[in-house]
Structure 1
Amino acid sequence: MAPNRNIPNPARTLLTLFGVMAVLTVVMFAQGHPTPKLGLDLAGGTSVTMTAETESGKKAPAAQMDQAIKIIRDRVDGSGLADVDIHKEGDNVIVVSVPGNKEDSGRIVSLVSAAAQMQFRQVLVSAAGAGTATVAPTASPTATGTATPKPTKSVKPNVTESSKNRALSKAFAAPTPTPTTSKSTTPAPTTTTTPEIDPSALGADYSKVTDKAVIAQFEKTNCEAGPPGTQVEGADDPTKQFVVACDPDGQEKYILGPVKVLGTEISDANAQAPNVQNNQPGWEVALKFKSKGADQFGDLTKLADAAYTANPNDPEARIAIVLDGRVVSAPAIQSGPILGGTASINGGTDFNEEYAKGLAQSLKYGSLPLKFPDSGQNIENISSSLGADQLRGGLIAGAIGLGLVVLYCLFYYRALGVVAVLSLIVASAITYISVVILGENMGFRLSLPHIIGLIVSIGITADSFIVYFERLRDELRLGRALRPSVEVAWNRARRTIIVADAVTFIAALVLYFLAVGGIKGFAFAMGLTTLIDVVVVFFFTKPLVALLARRDFFAKGHKLSGLDSHRLSKPTPVARLKRQEA
């Protein structure tokens, strides 16, 4: 009789599985860390307690606290790190527990505490950052020459048009006006510290600033007095029509007009690496606005472009990008309004990779509805000693459970039980490799709930073996030979195995999306091991049984094989019924 070509070659199937495992093992060692990353309870880490602050001083609304937790969780998930616990305590407190080393902890603390409240405002007045008197942003053109201001160091965006037409990047260039007469000179801006001088005599135009208190604050502000990027009080309030702000270097100060576009109108933000060919010296953040925000941003750039067309030195030709009360940059619109709904923030060499990616994550997942000031933060280190004791107890319990499963399989199935033991070993090896690779590439960290899920999966995996073995023994009781019984039993058992594993996987999937914290970790581990169980049963257990069926030890029913005729002489009720029907 010709062999059934629909039956896979068991030896080839086993070799394929071991080949894949070998490749994954090489990848695991090539990553440089062949051990799993551990979570907060096993490796220790940092716990950050943040207290929300409201303007009224009362407790924060529950809806805003829940929204803040959701935004923080989205930011953390987007950063690629896992097993970060975020929960609320009381009315105003959010606790973020970060596993791992101090470098990861510091990055997450910075990420979750940043309010990321972005505003786009038009610059109305600008002056040097130091001094108490207002300085003209530029001298008015005369017959003898034009005084050109030194461009701000905070913005050095690329000046080439994007190949993807995403931002008309020339429009976000720093102000570099060109003199219009041949006798022009380019002296540094003139600065005076004499309060009695009329600001209008120096060229400053307060005509559009109707708040005298803001003008007084502007004249008193010294941006160079504090560290670079010092925030001016009140500059982060979107309800204020006029605010005073400093540039990142403290060399320039501004009076900014009303908020024209809020950061909530940003639909997407992505960090982009430097591109020397496009004259992009540092990292930048590419922004994409929502429909309403795109229209608002287009209208704002039209105003700035009109001001630039009338007078390239007019401060109103510049748009200030304000993040949490600090001006990230204040570029001029030089090449027409930006109407495509996209733009980019480029801080030149001041934007490094970490800052650009953190800013992009914060903007992408939204601004926090509440303030979490530094004074309300409490950072403490968490020891891993308690988790290590619990891990030791969990491993002991898992070893006892695994030992009982092995003893049962060997006692009841004899040599056939060795197949179950080998299958458990292969499943454990694949699980270990998967955990290490996921930890290195996706930030997966092994915690106590994960380990509990892995231990529980031992029973799920053993169930699959038992279903197949019992089906095989039923076929032998009907009087069939071993080799055809292996295939018939498999055809019947695999449906049961697939259905059982599918139910378990769906339960794990639902639990994963509905739960948080440790329960979510338990669900992930259970879902992962359920998939591994399917792989092992299909690509190891069944092919190995098919190979062993060719050996006389099993084919002739040796008393230690687990398939001996004496043990199978008493047919089950199902087998008796089938014999009667036959």
Structure 2
Amino acid sequence: MSKLQLKWAGVLALVLAACALLYPTFNWYSMTAQERDRLEASRLRPKWLLNLGLDLRGGTHLVMELDVSKLPQDADVKDAVDRAIEIIRNRVDQFGVAEPLIARQGERWIVVQLPGITNTVQAKEIIGKTALLEFRMEDDSEKAREARQKIAELGDPFEKDPDGIMRATQGALALVPPGDELFPGKESTFYLVRATAPLNGSQLDGASVSNGSNGMPIVNFKFKPAGGKIFGELTTANVGKNMAIILDNLVYSAPVIKSPIRGGSGIIEGNFRMEEARNLAIVLRAGALPAPVRIIEERTVGASLGEDSIRQGLKACLIGGVLIVLFMLVYYQLGGVFANLALLLNLLFLLALMSYFGSTLTLPGIAGILLTAGMAVDANVLIFERIREELRAGKPVRIAVDAGYDRAFSAILDSNVTTLISAMFLFQFGTGPIKGFAVTLTIGILASMFTAIIVTHMMFHAYLANRSVDKLHIG
């Protein structure tokens, strides 16, 4: 087998590998949306899959701001945002969202993109909940009972602040005994509890959902060994008293401790719907945010809009591709045929590599594909013009072809390297769609270097190998 044949065998192997990588993607998107949702819920997505971004698939886009005023004075804001991102990512992973984007934006903002999730209420409930779980003893002293009676006479002792959080009114706060705090209850009541929390959610080991004795959903929780020990000591010392279970400043229940609980586990009741109970279990398992977050931007992209974007993007690619193919065929003739074949291989390798790396295709990513197609053709234009110069100088066809590739290589390399540097900066400092553009541009440039320089050169060698050519038709 000749050296040229070995090269073609290698190219054929790459084409077969690319087709194998793309098959799961074609098979996946040939299914109905209901079938894909069912497989995603069961976590049966293919390993190698070209994902669609928010602008193509539809979903929810949120920009959240960490309330740094609620952090301790000596807290590192950057570290707090990093921890918040990790906790939000854990919650989203448990929620079962495929290929979410969760990234820092600026000093204290977090961008969350959830492809395929259009229920923004549920998304905000899971992602935005601070999930600060505390166990505090209810004050059953005579002074507390008198204070409760006076507070009840005021009417509703709570009002919403500008952020929509329930706060005690000034009149109610004036009646709270020293060492106590006033909290609203989930069932339209209020509780006076001790100001100190001997146990909180940081000691939780897990949380799950089951049905209680009355058939209503309940949330089961279990502590780590150290937390279980504290819980056992706390319940032993307070038999017959009420323990308030507080989540994000809301008392979900305040059961009576009937006997010491030494198993390190318990339940949270609150007349939940099953969906509410599952969401609560998710945020408890993922942990509490270091500070509350506010949603400052919210955008939902419908699935139909995403499908329309795909159609428009494919239409743009088709029109651009046809114009490029026609120009190359008309102007460069045989060279145009080789360049167009290389362009098809470039697109095949680009999509296959994106599938292998699990990249996400966005509308700017489609623009990146079109740009790389133009750059691949530009490389061939440089090569063909150099070959024409060599032919005009009177050199034989074979020598002119090799010299044309050699002379054009440095210019092609320089232009592609500078573009790669730009793409690296876009990927490093950009977010969401900008990163998608940078990824497709980078992979496309690398693929075009191979197809435009190596594969087309092999095509010329194959064309000239077994025939005597005195004139080369390249315009």
Q: Under a length normalisation based on structure 2, what TM-score does the superposition of the two structures give? A: 0.58
Pair 1:116–1:24, CA change in 2 (3 A): same
Matched residue, 1:535? 447
Of 247, 253, 271, the residue aligned with 1:322 is: 247
CA contact (8 A) 1:271 1:285 kept: yes
Query: Quick check: 1:524 aligned with 2:436?
Result: yes
Q: Is the 8 A contact 2:372 2:444 kept in 1?
A: no
1:213 matched to 2:227:
no
In 2 relative to 1, CA 405–541 (structure 1 residues): closer, same or farther, beyond 3 Å? same
- Superposition CA RMSD, Å: 6.4
| Alignment pair present for 1:258 and 2:196 | yes
- SS of equivalent residue, structure 2 residue 247: strand
Q: Secondary structure of the equivalent of 2:469?
A: coil
Instruction: Pick closer, same or farther for the CA change 1:28–1:411 going to 2, 3 Å.
Output: same
User: C-alpha offsets along residues 465-514 of structure 1, whole Å, 9 cap, x if unaligned?
Assistant: 4455567778887968849975x877887676566444423422322343
Per-residue displacement from partner, 1:181-226 (whole Å, max 9, x unpaired)?
Answer: xxxxxxxxxxxxxxxxxxxxxxxx538x8685358769999xxxxx
**Following the alignment from structure 1 to structure 2, what is the Cα–Cα distance between the partners of residues 469 and 51?**
54
Kindly state the Cα deviation for residue 250 of structure 1 after the two structures are TM-superposed. 10
Which residue number in structure 2 is paired with residue 334 of structure 1? 262
Counterparts in 2 of 1:309 and 1:522: CA distance versus 1, 3 Å: closer
Structure 1 residues 334 and 321 mapped into 2: Cα distance closer, same or farther (>3 Å)? farther
Kindly tell me: are residues 503 and 284 of structure 1, through their superposed partners in 2, closer, same or farther at Cα, counting changes over 3 Å? farther
What is the identity, as a one-letter code, of the residue corresponding to 2:136?
Q
Structure 1 or 2: larger helix share? 2
Structure 2: segments with no counterpart, 5+ residues: 33-49, 70-76, 156-164, 211-216
Task: Tell me the residue number matched to 1:417.
Answer: 336
**2:429 matches 1:514:** yes
Please say if 1:9 is aligned against 2:3.
Answer: no
Partner of 2:24: 27
For residues 355-504 of structure 1, the aligned pairs below 5 Å read 356-357=281-282, 363=287, 366-370=290-294, 388=308, 392=312, 399=318, 401-431=320-350, 444=360, 446-447=362-363, 449-466=364-381, 482=398, 500-504=415-419
Q: 8 Å contact 1:482–1:555 — kept in the other structure?
A: no
The match for 1:167 is: none
Find the aligned partners of 2:219 and 2:388 in 1 and give their Cα distance. 66
For 1:9, what is the secondary structure of its paired residue? Answer: helix
Q: Find the residue that maps to 1:258 and give its secondary structure.
A: coil
Per-residue deviation, 1:37: 7.2
Deviation at 1:9, TM superposition (A): 2.3
Distance 2:85 2:446 in 1: 36
Please tell me whether residue 108 in structure 1 is matched to residue 123 in structure 2: yes
Shift, 1:416, TM fit: 2.4
In structure 1, what is the Cα distance between the partners aligned to 2:354 and 2:289? 28
Q: Is the 8 A contact 2:231 2:261 kept in 1?
A: yes
Q: State the identity %.
A: 19
On the 8 A contact 1:505/1:527 being kept in 2, the answer is: no
Q: 3-state SS of the aligned residue for 1:334?
A: coil
Q: Per residue, is there more strand in 1 or in 2?
A: 2
Report the counterpart of residue 137 of structure 2 in structure 1: 123
1:420, CA displacement in angstroms? 1.5
Q: 2:184, 2:249 within 8 Å by CA — same for their partners in 1? A: no
The residue identity in structure 2 corresponding to 1:108 is A
> Residues 262 and 271 (structure 1 numbering): CA distance in 2 closer, same or farther, change over 3 Å?
closer
Can you list the C-alpha shifts for 1:148-193, whole angstroms capped at 9, x where unaligned? xxxxxxxxxxxxxxxxxxxxxxxxxxxxxxxxxxxxxxxxxxxxxx
C-alpha spacing 1:326/1:308, structure 2 compared with 1 (3 Å): closer
**Among 242, 254, 261, which residue is 2:181 paired with?**
242
Please give the per-residue CA displacement for 1:333-386, whole angstroms capped at 9, x wherever unaligned: 6268xxxxxxx998699687665445556x46644245x7xxx99998869679
CA distance in 2, matches of 1:548, 1:271: 66
User: In the alignment, residue 468 of structure 2 is paired with which amino acid?
Assistant: K
The letter for the 2-side match of 1:213 is: A
- SS for the counterpart of 1:550 is helix
Judging changes above 3 Å, is the alpha-carbon distance between structure 1 residues 243 and 81 closer, same or farther for their aligned structure 2 residues? farther
Which structure: larger Rg? 1
What is the count of residue pairs matched by the alignment?
414
Contact between 2:220 and 2:266, CA under 8 Å: does it hold in 1?
yes
The Cα shift of 1:421 comes to: 0.8
Offset, 1:28 = 1.5
- Cα separation, partners in 2 of 1:47 and 1:548, compared to 1, 3 Å: closer
For the structure 1 residues 46 and 210, does the alpha-carbon distance in structure 2 shift closer, same or farther, using more than 3 Å as the test? same
Which residue of the partner structure matches residue 306 of structure 1?
233
CA contact (8 A) 1:39 1:445 kept: yes
SS of the residue 2:462 aligns to:
coil
**TM-score in terms of structure 1 length:** 0.50
1:500–1:102 CA distance, 2 compared to 1 (3 A): same
